[in-house]
Structure 1
Amino acid sequence: MQRYWGWWRSQSANLMVIGVASLALSSGVAALVQLGLLEGLEQKAYDQMVRLRQATRSLPPDDRLLIVTVTEEDLETLAEFPLTDGTVARAINQLQQHEPVAIGLDMFRAIPKPPGRDALGQALQADNIVVIAQLANSTGGPGIPPPVESAPGQVSFNDVVVDADGKVRRALMIAEPTALPEHPYLFSFSLQLAMRYLATQDLMPTASPENPDYMQLGETTLWPLQSGSGGYARIDDNGYQVMLDYRDRVTPARTVTLQAVLNDQFDPAWVRGKVVLIGITAPSFKDLFYTPFTGGASDANHQMPGVILHGQMVSQWLDLALGDRPLMGLSHPWQEWLWCLGWALLGGTLAWYLHHPITLTASETGVFIAIAVSGYALFLTQGWVPIIAPALTVLGTSGVVLAYQAQQSFRQRQMMQVLLGQAASPEIARALWENRDRLIKSGKLPGQSMVATMLFTDLRGFSSLAEITPPEQLLEWLNHYLEAMTDEIQIHHGIVNKFTGDGLLAVFGVPIASTTPDEIAADAQAAVACALGMATRLQTINRERQAQHHPRLEMRVGIFTGPVVVGSVGGHQRMEYGIIGDSVNIASRLESVDKSRQPEPCRILIGQDTLDYVGDAFITEAWGDLVLKGRHAPLGVYRVIDRRTDPISPLT
């Protein structure tokens, strides 16, 4: 249970880092969204989804509509620009013969264009005629009024809402108030035409039961756009606006030319019971608009004429009322924040646990693809959520997590070297660091043969002391004792290879190999001098213990110089810097031989080989040739008493 609790605590710390990074980045990106800094990118992503959907979803032409286009060829044939009132009246009268539900004239006729003004005035009196006015011109000034011959109920506006990049993605349905005193509230040109058709289906706009301030067509509530929704951050949301859902990239319905209408060269069934729109599509008239298809359409279709654009809107309103197409829904700011937060948590988690660059790159790429696929899947169900914002959140969160891990790794590397220096030696830490390439490649340090001097220590009667000493106190004075011994070893340039409970193994001459006899002799002398220094420190510790009425400590030291192999010992999961060889065993046996002979608090025994290297540098006492445990050949054993004041060089 303890193991699982420790695992959970470590995972909780990881999750906290990921969570904090995700919260911070998602909140930061949400702020960027609301400031409008990502609006252009989100709209480009929206356009791409519109084009992709059009390529995979083909809706048939709307047979409830007919669009009469005034082409460049029509203008050249009639030699009229602009069209005269008489020509427009002839076209309307020709269409009226076939009983359309409504005729929408997408042309400004406030200024007379003789001949034929009286004929046009009479034609515009029909109840099914809808004419246009302009709310405001391109500079924000007064717009164009409707023809004076039109009844108030037949007047609409044809103003189009254009985004900052010049594209039309929204539709304005109701304008309030207007600059026209006699028309304070106007329906759009497309909505006026759609309502006339819906009236034949006994469908009229009503107040939504969900919000009486909102319009409902059929069973569909038209939720107006608000600033901050979807990919919009700071839009002009005056009037009643919704997203424009294009039926087709070219035209939503059948089209015929003005010449065909004037010459009665069309099927009357195309008009009977239908909504007819009349407008100029000739490029010279410049009634053209950029759309989401602009980026993917050919040069010939990169702009859409105004009358075609209004036809797209009429088709959408009819589909909404009849339940054939749902309204495009937009996410709210709080939903977008949660959307970004969820992806940030996923991206941050992957960055935390996947360390291999290829795996991490592939996974993060998969997240970006998943964001795009999820966003497009929601788009196909008429929902627009940001795509760029969550991608930036994932990228930012992953970067923060990786930066945090890099900083932690740097700190851990420093700590590792410090800890290795404390537990073993700074030399080992440096050796591991200098050989890091081989460690990373093979996972271990290769073995290296050398001659070194081993020093083993152990406390005499430690088990008896442990039996009568509380564990907390035992650990405290043991650490104090080992710290003193470790300091002495490092003073003499040895390394602590391992702790053995109440003892330790120190080595002199590694990891940088001593290759000459003088260097090996210096290592041996350093080891023996270190042991004498340990004896002095033990005296100090015992004085402190006696002052506290604690039992006196006694220790044994075994030293031997000989060949060893140093390198990594263990597997990939658990590894240490190992020192192996018979010389290590001999030093250990010297420490533990004849434990009953303890002439002084710190007993120091060395083997013949070590004595050969240290010579007369130290005062020694011969203990004879002893057979150590586990060995057959006897070994000359000597007890070190003190340093000689006038030593003789061992190699002269």
Structure 2
Amino acid sequence: MKRVRGLLQRIAPYTAAIVALLLLRSTGLAQTIDLVVYDLITTQRPAASGKDTPITLIGIEESDIQRFGWPIDDGLFCQGFDQLNASGVDVIGFDIYRDKGVGPDQQCLRDRFQNEPTLVSIFNVASGIGPVPGTPVERQSYNDLSLDADGILRRDLVHVTGQDEATVSFAMRVMEIATGDRSLREAMDAGRHEDAWLSANGGGYYNEVDAGLGLQTLLRFRDPWSYPLYSLAQLLDGEIPEDAIRDKIVLIGSTAPSLRDLFNVPQTRFTRSEEVFQVSGVEIHANRVATLLEHQDGSIQVGWIMPGWGNQMLLVLCIGLGALLGEAVPKLRRSVVLVLGLGAALTGGIGWLLWQQHVWVGMAMPITGLLSMGGAAWMRRGAMSQQHSQQIKQLLGQTTSPAVADQLWNQRDELLSNGRFDGRQLPITVLFTDTANFTSVSEGLSPRELMDWLNRGMEVCVPAVTRRGGMVNKFTGDGMLAVFGVPIEQDVQAEATAAIEAAQEIKAGLEKLNQQLQIDGEPAMRIRMGIHSGDALVGSMGSPERIEYAVIGDTVNCASRLESLDKQRHKGVLRVLLSSNTLDLLEPDFRKQLELENWGPMHVKGRDEPLDVHELKMDTAPEAPEATQP
């Protein structure tokens, strides 16, 4: 059962992280995050002006509808075409559906499209709308646009290979007629043209792009409304400057909001105005034509889009890095800094690539994978830390200082074996206490009062030990056994000094306690203490049902014998006897500060060799330290 519980503690955080990643992907939230980031960067990136292109727009505006009505008579378009051709236009892209004629001059429009080599007609595959009747196939084109699931236009269906001559995109057809060059489309058909093509799960898309639909890329947006734009009325009234038409690509389409040929674009989300930021279809096509012209003359920065398999590899890499940095870095704080720093660097790097290089890499999944796996590792480590802390408390049996506990955690792999502390021989200093006149005191108190009385004494003694890195190994009825230097080997000089300082603090605490006990009408508390330094065997002892941290050896026995030595020779609230073993470890300057009474060599029970015994006299005691280092 413990193994199962331990296994669950290890895998549960990672299972939760994987579930979170799956939900992020399956719910579409990852794609939403990536698209929002893409829109933000696209909005903030400086864009070139449409005035720098050979493209002029003729828009059907609200004023044109008021003047000419809607749908506009075919004869008016015929007049406009004639004026444009007379001014020396390169090509006229007609982005208005006219599969069915309007007005009495329908035939003139069909004749123009049949005979004028500058005219390009549109049809729409998705809606089943045909081109202007009579238009030759070499001047027909589809104007289908691909909206994303959130209703924003980001992609351009540049070309569909393997189709008949009529099935060419509107932008491609206009560009080819204007330049007389079909090499770009031929290169696409042959698979020789390199571009930042979208694939399934490419960039920040997840199952959004139909890879079999054709060659798709991300739209390049010029500065909105920067193309030269004139109304149909201005064209018919001869008010358009000739240099805006001659040798230009002219696109005619709807710009009036009432005609609803407007599209939400990446800038829509982050541009605040009185009206919704939308771009007309004819300007979208102008952007497409301008991009193809840049491809043809080689002036475009092509960029790159991470393919789906690349996104998957990046995700796996980030998951591995998150788990590795979360688990392998010893210091938890450093691990957190490294994972968060790497996440920030990855976010900044991907954003910079998109901003400067038009390189689009999906960031939501890999960064979430990095952070979630790092977080899972931290949770697992926290759970294991708590488990180890409980285990250490169980093994040590009693309290130890926070500083020692930290070191225990950092060295747990070296110290613990199969849930136990291995037996080791360590140089230690032992502090042993016992309460004087306990029998006579107990006769005058009830069991509950006696226990409260003893605990008030322990509240003085225990903190004085643990604050200095010592460990209270066990309580011995009316006393305690405290050890300095376990379970991690420390500086023997520092441990001996810590024991003396603990004794000084205990004396000061007992004096204050006795003042309060006198007020409360309870017996005063007097304690005997023995301190001795030397080697001892330490480690876990017991069975699975009961186990404790044992400190065994002559050092422990000597401290106990010093405490019980000549009990009648006791003045004041605390009598401290210590051996020369401990005194010899102290720094000379510290030892000079101590008031000592030499009892001389004395034999103690169970030991052949005498101990050189000293009594520590204490008139005052130093203040307890706020923190300790073991």
Taking structure 2 as the reference length, the TM-score comes to 0.63
Question: Within the alignment, does 1:114 sit opposite 2:103 as a pair?
Answer: yes
* Cα drift, residue 291 of structure 1: 0.7
3-state SS of paired residue (2:270): coil
Contact 1:106 1:278 in 2 (8 A): yes
Question: Within the alignment, does 1:497 sit opposite 2:478 as a pair?
Answer: no
1:188 to 162, 169, 173: 169
CA distance in 1, matches of 2:67, 2:207: 46
Distance 1:354 1:264, change over 3 A: farther
CA distance in 1, matches of 2:214, 2:151: 20
Question: Within the alignment, does 1:71 sit opposite 2:90 as a pair?
Answer: no
Contact 1:174 1:185 in 2 (8 A): no
1:593 counterpart residue number = 602
1:214 counterpart residue number = 191
* Cα drift, residue 294 of structure 1: 0.6
1:319 counterpart residue number = 294
3-state SS of paired residue (1:294): helix
CA distance in 2, matches of 1:243, 1:493: 83
* Cα drift, residue 207 of structure 1: 3.3
Contact 2:322 2:369 in 1 (8 A): no
CA distance in 2, matches of 1:101, 1:487: 96
Contact 1:347 1:367 in 2 (8 A): no
1:154 counterpart residue number = 139
1:82 to 56, 71, 88: 71
Q: Deviations over 1:117-167 (max 9, x none)?
A: 222122112122110111022xxxxx1111222111111111110100001
CA distance in 2, matches of 1:24, 1:300: 44
* Cα drift, residue 316 of structure 1: 1.0
Contact 1:350 1:364 in 2 (8 A): yes
After superposition, residues 67-466 of structure 1 pair within 5 angstroms as 67-78=57-68, 80-125=69-114, 126-137=116-127, 143-175=128-160, 186-199=167-180, 203-207=183-187, 214=191, 216=193, 221-222=194-195, 224-237=197-210, 238-251=212-225, 253-297=227-271, 298-300=273-275, 302-340=277-315, 345=321, 349=325, 369-379=344-354, 380-421=356-397, 426=398, 428-429=399-400, 452-453=433-434
* Cα drift, residue 519 of structure 1: 7.6
2:623 counterpart residue number = none
CA distance in 2, matches of 1:407, 1:369: 27
CA distance in 1, matches of 2:474, 2:261: 92
3-state SS of paired residue (1:206): helix
CA distance in 2, matches of 1:93, 1:48: 43
Contact 2:196 2:305 in 1 (8 A): no
* Cα drift, residue 365 of structure 1: 6.6
CA distance in 2, matches of 1:151, 1:488: 99
* Cα drift, residue 177 of structure 1: 8.3
- AA aligned opposite 1:558: L
Contact 1:21 1:400 in 2 (8 A): yes
3-state SS of paired residue (2:141): strand
1:473 counterpart residue number = none
Greater gyration radius? 1
Contact 1:222 1:242 in 2 (8 A): no
After superposition, residues 565-604 of structure 1 pair within 5 angstroms as 593-594=602-603, 602=606
* Cα drift, residue 492 of structure 1: 4.2
Task: Number of aligned residue pairs: give it.
Answer: 477
- AA aligned opposite 2:385: S
* Cα drift, residue 263 of structure 1: 1.7
Structure 1 unaligned spans of 5+: 1-16, 138-142, 437-449, 456-485, 528-553, 567-579, 606-625, 634-652
3-state SS of paired residue (1:74): helix
Q: Deviations over 1:72-110 (max 9, x none)?
A: 1112122x2011110111111111112222211111111
Distance 1:150 1:184, change over 3 A: closer
Structure 2 unaligned spans of 5+: 1-8, 406-430, 437-470, 487-495, 531-555, 577-590, 618-630
Percent identity of paired positions between Structure 1 and Structure 2: 19
Contact 1:103 1:278 in 2 (8 A): yes
RMSD: 5.0
* Cα drift, residue 276 of structure 1: 1.3
CA distance in 2, matches of 1:391, 1:117: 59
Distance 1:84 1:177, change over 3 A: farther
Contact 1:168 1:290 in 2 (8 A): yes
CA distance in 2, matches of 1:49, 1:368: 18
Contact 1:42 1:386 in 2 (8 A): yes
Q: Deviations over 1:534-570 (max 9, x none)?
A: xxxxxxxxxxxxxxxxxxxx9764334665599xxxx
Taking structure 1 as the reference length, the TM-score comes to 0.61
Q: Deviations over 1:381-431 (max 9, x none)?
A: 01111233344234323422332332233234324433443xxxx2x44xx
